[in-house]
Structure formats: C-alpha cells, structure tokens
Amino acid sequence: MIKPDSYFKVTYGLYLVTARLGEQKVGYVANTVFQVTSSPARFGVSCSKDNFSTSIIERSGSFAFSVLGERASTGLIGDFGYRSGREIDKFRGVNYFIGQTGSPIITDSAIAWFECRTVETLDLGSHLLMIGEVIASDVLNDQIKPLTYQYYRDVLKGFSPKNAPTYVDKSLLETNSPGMLSESEIWQCSLCHYAYETDKGDPISGIDPGTRFQDLPDDWCCPICGADKSQFFKD
C-alpha cells in the first residue's frame, strides 16, 4: 500500500531552474534539485518532458538554479511555476545576469545561485534527470532562510503543478483536517490548484478566516500564481 500523504514528509527546497539557447531564455520552479556527488560537485535536476524549458535545458548543455528564500515573491513563483514560456516572457521585469555558460541567473527573491554544465542526462520516461557539474556559485543573502517545499505548502498553501516529479493527486489525500467546518467552502484556482478555504482565509493577503469567496475584494488574486477571482471554481 502506498500512502499519498507520505510524500509530504520528504523535504525539498524551491528553486528557479534557468537556461538559455540563443535568444530563448527559459526558467521554471523546481523542488527536486539535489547534490549527487561532492568532488567534483554535481547536482541532479528532474525536468518534465512536457515542460517547454526542458528541451532548451537539454539542448543548451548547461543550466543554473537560484535558491529561493522564504520571502520569495509569489508572483515570481506564479509566473515561473504555473505559466509557460511559450505564452509569456517570464524574465520581463525580473533581475538576472548572464553567467559563464550563457545561462540567465535570477537574483530576485534568491538567497544563493549555482551554475552547472550538464554532464549526463538520464531518461526516466516522463522526466529527464539532468546531472550538472557546478562551475560557479554564490550566496546572495545569508539572513533569509531557504524557502522549503513544506513552508510553501503549509504557509503559502501551494501545490506542485501536474508536471512536477512530486505531483500528488489531491483526490487521493485524506481530508480529515480537524479545523474544517462543514459550512466551510473551498474555491480552487484553475491555474495552480491553490485552494481558498473560507474558514482559513488568506493570511498572506490579509484576508481574515471566515471571509466568503464572494466577499473577497475584486482585486484579490491567487496568492500563489496571481490569477484573478474569475479563474476560481467552487470545489
């Protein structure tokens, strides 16, 4: 028996993985970034084949990743995590510089960054596991804690998008949350699956617990991906 909740006990950070091929810059939010050897230092990154970024990362032969801090902009996570580079220019208005390999390295909301040259690519069916050797890295902020996937889920109420290696089908999860009253309503964001629960409100945006969805301000938007109210449906 596999218990879906068990996946939430595995700890990850959150990262902006980026690459560039010619004029095409790509980037997405990843949690499965991890060191696989120490000498030389190499990192593995698992990339969904359905992501536009993946083919660019593969063809460019290099990638970078920025380590997000706890105070990371949810707009940045929304753009890089839930929107496609085919549709919007994710880098517009974002601070970054071009590294030695040509990869764009994002400094906004980041506490550290690494630049890697790909040395192996392992085909895992739905995903490619890129192994990259670190050629440069730096710390940008030593005061802010790294954003963890747990913090993202628990405090920001975020979920993995469908292409993530750690995607879990919410319908499989046990919902025995003791604070959940029967009259509480849940409204879900069609873009990123964030769930607005009326009995919890949206502390990030200053919305008190108990606020009905129809009473949210007109300019309220999804705290994860920035979608407006019209993108929500009642669960």
What are the residues binding its own copies (CB under 8 A)?
Answer: 1-3, 5-7, 9-13, 32-39, 41-42, 44, 46, 67, 111-114, 120, 122, 124-127, 129, 131, 134-139, 142, 145-146, 148-150, 160, 164-168
Per-residue exposure over 2-19, b if at least 16 CB sit within 10 Å of its own CB, e if not: eeeeeeeeeebbbbbbbb
Quickly count: other Cβ atoms within 10 Å of residue 139's Cβ: 10
CB contact at 8 A, 132 and 34: no
CB contact at 8 A, 20 and 40: no
Distance of closest approach, residue 33 Cβ to its own copies, in angstroms: 7
Distance of closest approach, residue 118 Cβ to its own copies, in angstroms: 13
Distance of closest approach, residue 137 Cβ to its own copies, in angstroms: 4
Q: Which is nearer to its own copies, 170 or 228 (CB)?
A: 170
CB contact at 8 A, 94 and 15: no
Task: Tell the residue number behind the tokens 């009905």, with chain if given.
Answer: 212
Q: Which is nearer to its own copies, 76 or 207 (CB)?
A: 76
For 88, counting Cβ atoms within 10 Å of its Cβ (0-12 exposed, 13-18 middle, 19+ buried), the class is exposed
Residues ≥6 apart with Cβ < 8 Å to 182: none
Q: Which is nearer to its own copies, 138 or 235 (CB)?
A: 138
Q: Which is nearer to its own copies, 52 or 151 (CB)?
A: 151
Token output for 46: 């698992």
d(CA 34, CA 118): 14
Distance of closest approach, residue 121 Cβ to its own copies, in angstroms: 10
Q: Which is nearer to its own copies, 21 or 129 (CB)?
A: 129
Residue 8 in 3-state DSSP? helix
Distance of closest approach, residue 9 Cβ to its own copies, in angstroms: 4
Q: Which is nearer to its own copies, 18 or 198 (CB)?
A: 18
Distance of closest approach, residue 108 Cβ to its own copies, in angstroms: 15
